[in-house]
Structure formats: C-alpha cells, structure tokens
Structure 1
Amino acid sequence: MNKLFAAAAAAIVLTATPALAQPTDILNASYDIARELFAAENAAYAASGASITVNQSHAGSSAQARAILEGLAADVVTFNQVVDIERLVDGGFVSEDWASEFPNNASPFYSLPAFLVRAGNPKGISDWGDLAAEGVQVIFPNPKTSGNGRYTYLAARAWANEEYANDEAKVEEFLTKLFNNVPVFETGGRAATTAFTERQLGDVLVTFEAEVLAVREQFGADQYEAVIPSVSLLSEFPVAIVDKVVDNRGTREIAKAYLDFLYTPEGQEVAAANFHRVNDEAVAAAHAAEFPEVRLVTAEDAFGGWDKISEEHFADGGLLDKVFLNQ
C-alpha cells in the first residue's frame, strides 16, 4: 500500500468514526444556603425544555472557590460574594471580564443581612445596635470562612460607621461587643441556621433575608419573626462561567444558557418565590408586598469596593482580625 493510498484510507476511517457525544450535564458550585433555591431553579429550567442535567455542589462560597482551585470541575459558579470569584480569576479559572458577561454585574438576584428572632421578639431586637447589648446572644457564621458572615460583619460596620460618625475606636468597640455576644461561630450560613433553629442557640440569627424569610415560612410565624434593620448592605449573588472547565469539557454553550435562564422572567420568578429580591421590574412588582423597604448601602459606597475591602478588612492583620483580637 503506497503512502498516498494509506493516507486516503485513514481519512475514510476518521470520517466514518462517529463524533464524540457532546456533554449533556454541568456542575453548578454554589453557596451553602442556596440548596432549595437551585433545586427550584433547576426544576424550572428543565420544565422550560432544557435537555441538560444540572448537578449541584453546595458549601461555603469560599470553600467552593478553594475546591475549584484544587480540582472540582464546576462548569459554573453561583456564589454569594465577588471576592470568591476574583480568587478564581487570580487562579486562571475565570476570565477577568466575568462581571460584564451577564447583566447587573453578573448578579441575577440579591439580598441583604437581616435578623430572625424567636416569637414575640423577647430581647426587643430592632436594629444593629441591639446586637451588642449585654445578655443578647447572636448567631452568624464566621466571617473568616463564610461570605454570609462577611456580609454580616460589613453591614454591622456600615451601620456603626454612620452611628458613630466614622470614629474607628467606637466602631471597633461596638463590633467587639457584638462578636463577644456570639457563643459559637459556625463555618457557614446553613450551619448557623441549624444552630439557631434546631440546637436552639442564641436570641437572634443574622443571615441573608432570603434565609430569614424561608425559615419563617418553614417553621411558622408563630415560632419566628423577621426583623429588617434600618440599614443593611446590598448582598449580590454573582455568577460566572468557569472558563478553564467549560473549555476542557466543551460545555461553554450549555453553561451560558443555564446562567442566562436565571435572568429570564421564569428564572426571576423562581428566585422571588424563594425570597430573593430580583431586578426584573415586572417580577419585582408582583412580589413587592413580600419585601419590606430598607435602605441599602453598597460595598463601593460604604467601603470603596471589594478590592479595598479585601485589603483593609479581610487580609491577615486587617480590621476584622483586630475585632477578633479584641475579644
């Protein structure tokens, strides 16, 4: 067989070989209290005619970022804080312009730190200042391990900055009293909820409003009450395609279609029905009565943005560490 014939024969064999099947599943790595939300979103996505399987992984947002850097093959992430996606950018897993790839800074819905108290609100909790009072036990996850906890710390600090006219000594004194009122720092938001509801620890749980309202619905208004503070921090839930994974698996198209669905009226309705505030005007209007008005400050306006927050508050020896050391 001459070389020309052999090459032609090989080409025929290659042409006749069936194309490799395209993946029909993706993995969504998400934060730990989003289990119910994405179970509902995925069911709605399937009902819309999507022919892919969306598998879920849930843990603390920061833990999920570490897992991906260490090999978890997540096609998409739906996190609860920007800094964890930026860790994936730094690791070469997500593109630098991820925030512009989807609307609203790649945040399909949002929430805010709020309070859950026991029926009758026996400690009279109404605002952040009450959490530092003597005899009040506060439950929220550790800001060192949880995005949920970081939002709580920042929201409390934002309130204190206003209350004490940016007097750092008074702000630190308030935060130290607040942290001293925490009997145990759980590693994530769902663990904090479990400590408050099942283990009956604490007088008040601080977590995302979405979790507060979901717990009240699950257990009943005769067991728990929601308290919305006077001011809180806009808590965005950013999403991103994990470029390094989708390019390896060939799942970019289906990954993008899934995240796009979260912005559709159907996806927004699911989020609102699961107590998340949404940006779709029609869906937001339909659920307006379910969400109390609250003044929200942003990370940019209150603290100069996430890069500055990471450097000043959450780096080793930063302002968060000072609060812990003061305990």
Structure 2
Amino acid sequence: MILPMIKKIIACVFILVLSSSVQATVLLNSSYDVSRELFSALNVVFEKQWAKMYPKDVLTIKQSHAGSSTQALSILQGLKADVVTYNQVTDVQILYDKGKLIPSNWQERLPDNSSPFYSTMAFLVRKGNPKHIKDWQDLVQNNVKLIFSNPKTSGNGRYAWLAAWGAANLMNGNNTLQTKKFMTQLLRNVEVLDTGGRGATTTFVSHSIGDVLISFESEVNTIRDRYMQKGYEVIVPATNILAKFPVTWIDKNLSENNTEKAAKAYLHYLYTPSAQKIMTRFYYRVNNQQLMKLNQNRFPYTKFFTIEKMFGGWDRITKMHFSSGGELDQLLAERHE
C-alpha cells in the first residue's frame, strides 16, 4: 500500500520538475483587417522554427485584427500587443507621437524602412465584368456602384482614396479642380463605406452589394481564388499607389510581457526567403527581386507613384485629406448636393 503511494509521489515530483523547466511565451500581433490568412500561414511556420531552436520555450502567436487605425488606438488605450504589422506608416508613428511606446527612429531598426512587404490597390468585379471596368476613370460612370472601406478608420480605405486621387491627378495634368470633380463623382458612386477592409469584402461578396470592390491587391486576389465558382475577376489599374506595410515591436510592452527575444525574432523572420515566399503566395509584393521574378505572373505591371512624391508625405496627407473638415469631409458633403 505504501509503495504505490511513494511511486505516485515520485511521479508527481518528476512532472513538477520537468514542467518547471519548460516555459510558455505568448506573442500578440496587432494587425490590419485583411491580413488574417497571411499571418495564419506565417505564424505556423515560425512557431515550428522556434520550437526547434528553443524546445523548452513553447511559443504561441495570437492575432488581433481590425482597421489599422482602430488597432493603433486600441494599443494607445492599453492593448498589450508585442508587435504591430500595419498597412500604413502613420498608424505605427502614432504609437510614438501619442504614447511614446516606441522610439522615434523605429523605421531604422529593420530593413526597407521596417516594411518587409508591400501592395497596391486593385478592383474585384463580378463575373464577366458587366460594367467593363478597366481603370480608374471607369469607376465614375453613372451606373457603377462602388464598395471600399472608410478612410477615417482604415488604412485600406485611405490607400483606396489616395490611389484614386493620385491617378485622377495624373490623368488631369495636376488640375486640382478636375481631380476634386472626379473624386466627388467617385464618392457619389459609393454604396457602402465599411469600417475596415474585410467588412467591405463581406458587403461585396456575402451581401452582393456593388459592382466593384476596391481593396488591396492581396485581398481581391485571395477572394477571387476562394470563390472560384462565382467567377470574380481582378483588375489592377495601370497607374497605382505604392502601399508599404510597416512593422515594429512595441518596446514598452516587451519589457512588461517578457517577450523581447520572441518579438524581435518574429519580425526578423518576416524578411527571410521562406516568409517572403509565403507572402507572394498570398499576393503580397516583396523586395526580394528573385521571388518577384519567379512570381511575375501573379503581379501585373503597374506604374507606381509614391506617397511622398504625389502628396508630400503622410503628415501633409492627414491634414489635407483626412482631418476634420479636410478634402474627404468636404467632398462627402458635396456628393449629396
């Protein structure tokens, strides 16, 4: 009777000793609305790599998704994310400007200004492209109904707005008055301004509203592939915006969460060929020219313009276009006149 009891006690002690030598690390990645599938694939691979390097440290990566501006606000309000992977520089920069959660030079800590991948805007149209959409100018026809996300709450929506504005500006020879007329008509054609990119996709696909969904190239291609039976088609405009996707670790949270080693390794991993190969599989463009050449059929040529050259940078954009009473507010009011 005593012997079995002693064996049980020894077994329990052995389990306690063994478990005490194994630690668990949980990493929270705060990301933008339409990146779910990408990071689901990336995280599985990184967790396996981590397990091989650190078998006594069990790593779990958790995700938080919403419009990028909403996500940044959540962190400022206390969300203890370890890393952010956003689609707009300002939504990372605000973490320094408003909260001093990261240093001012955060863009210098990783290659390519801390942007391991990038994208551009594209159109998803219904089977057979019944409205004959080919480029930006086709979106302002009277019979075309548009869906994209709200530029006030979504980086996806801001890029859609700026891509349309920039393309119109180039078409009009930098005639601001003509560009504003174009954008007013574009807004008149909008059926729904969803709070985030995935919400806009749901409106277009699940609720069958609109003729054209404007979203990131990665999103519209993913949706086309997922719903092959619906026969959606993807159009990448000939002139388009370069959308860089910045990442960083949140210094203040790393010290509190004891996740510095895992967080930094995770973001460095995003620059590796294996991670970048996964990105191209999900229709994200990367700076690895060899991978881009191998995947050239997935990425139609488009003539990019940049935020800096077209608009003078994000500070100027925010004040001119998206602040209270800015161009977006003014033209939204005009579309009802």
> In the aligned structure 2, how far is the partner of 1:33 from the partner of 1:280?
23
Q: 1:117 aligns with which of 118, 121, 125?
A: 125
- Give the deviation of 1:286 after TM superposition: 1.8
Distance 2:313 2:229 in 1: 37
Alignment size in residue pairs: 309
CA–CA distance in 2 between the matches of 1:24 and 1:216? 36
RMSD (CA atoms): 1.6
Q: Residue 13 of structure 2 aligns with which residue?
A: none
**Consecutive unaligned residues in structure 2, runs of 5 or more:** 1-19, 52-57
Aligned to 1:75: 82
After superposition, residues 209-228 of structure 1 pair within 5 angstroms as: 209-220=217-228, 223-228=231-236
Report if the CA contact (8 A) 1:23-1:249 is conserved.
no
- After TM superposition, the structure 1 stretch with the greater mean CA deviation from structure 2, 248-257 or 180-189, is 248-257
Determine the structure 2 residue equivalent to 1:3: none
In structure 2, the partner of 1:27 is 28
Answer yes or no: is the 8 Å Cα contact 1:142–1:149 preserved in 2. yes
SS in 1 for 2:149: coil
Q: Take 1:204 and 1:25, find their aligned partners in 2: how far apart are those partners? A: 39
Render the CA deviation track for 1:294-316: whole Å, top value 9, x for unaligned: 11111011111112111221122
Aligned residue in 2 for 1:180: 188
Deviation at 1:86, TM superposition (A): 1.1
**Which residue of 2 is the match for residue 43 of structure 1?**
44
Secondary structure of the 1:292 match is: coil
Query: Over residues 214-267 of structure 1, what are the superposed CA-to-partner deviations in whole Å (9 max), with x where a residue is unaligned?
Result: 011111176100001111111111101111101222212210100000100111
1:65 alignment partner in structure 2: 72
> Which secondary structure state, in structure 2, belongs to the residue aligned with residue 196 of structure 1?
helix
**Equivalent position of 2:15 in the other structure:** none
Tell me what 2:272 maps to: 264
Residues 23 and 250 in structure 1, CA contact (< 8 A), matched pair in contact too: no
Structure 1, unaligned stretches of length 5 or more? 1-18
Q: Which residue of 2 aligns with 1:294?
A: 302
Query: Given the superposition, is the C-alpha separation of residues 21 and 306 from structure 1 closer, same or farther in structure 2, using an over 3 Å criterion?
Result: farther
Q: Is the 8 A contact 1:140 1:152 kept in 2?
A: yes
Q: Tell me the equivalent position of 1:165.
A: 173
TM-score, with length taken from structure 2: 0.89
**Which amino acid is the alignment partner of residue 46 of structure 1?**
E
Matches within 5 A, 1:140-151: 140-151=148-159
Among the aligned pairs, what percent are the same residue?
46
Give the one of 76, 84, 96 matched to 1:89.
Answer: 96
TM-score by length of 1: 0.91
